[in-house]
Amino acid sequence: MKKYIPLILRIAVAIILIQTLRFKFSAHPDSVYIFTKVGLEPYGRIGIGIAELIAGILLLIPRTVWLGAVLTLGIIGGAIMMHLTQLGIEVNNDGGVLFTTAIITFVLSGIILYIYRRDLPLIGKKLSSTRH
């Protein structure tokens, strides 16, 4: 079971990233509202959607998991900052679901990156030679 946990985490984060794309790419009113409020509509909505698609795919490819996790941390870190500075925790009476999902995705991505830290270019080899 222990060897399946990283795969389950990767799939979970990829699903979270990819399932949001229908809202971004279809110009769903909630998505348009969010990106308008932060001044990134429409190019930011579409660009971030493309970045999330790429991150989700990278998480599913064994050789690029680390890159998918890093990209996800950057994207979702930005989303969390937007919630904390411009959007608020609750957006359009969602009860904080978007913010909570962002936090969960960020934490899971951090765990994934930690699991795959030895795959990081340049520093991964050094990390594998140190004992924890």
pLDDT tens by residue, 56-86: 999 999 999 999 999 999 999 999 999 999 9
Contact 118, 128 (CB under 8 A): yes
Among 47-56, 69-78, 82-91, 119-128, whose mean pLDDT is lowest?
Answer: 119-128
Q: Is the confidence at residue 130, as pLDDT, over 60?
A: no
How many other C-beta atoms are found inside a 10 Å radius of the C-beta of residue 66?
Answer: 20
Contact 83, 102 (CB under 8 A): yes
Q: How far apart are the C-alpha atoms of 24 and 41, rounded to whole Å?
A: 10
Q: 15 lies in a domain? A: yes
Q: 20 lies in a domain? A: yes
Give me 116's structure tokens: 């795959």
Look-up of token digits 């990209």: 71
Mean pLDDT, rounded, of the chain? 93
Q: 35 lies in a domain? A: yes
Domain containing residue 24: 5-127
Among 29-38, 79-88, 120-129, whose mean pLDDT is lowest?
Answer: 120-129
Distance from the Cα of residue 95 to its chain's centroid: 20
Residue 78: phi and psi, rounded to 5, are -65, -40
96: left (phi over 0), alpha (psi -120 to 50) or beta: left
- State the total domains in the chain: 1
Q: 93 lies in a domain? A: yes
Q: 132 lies in a domain? A: no
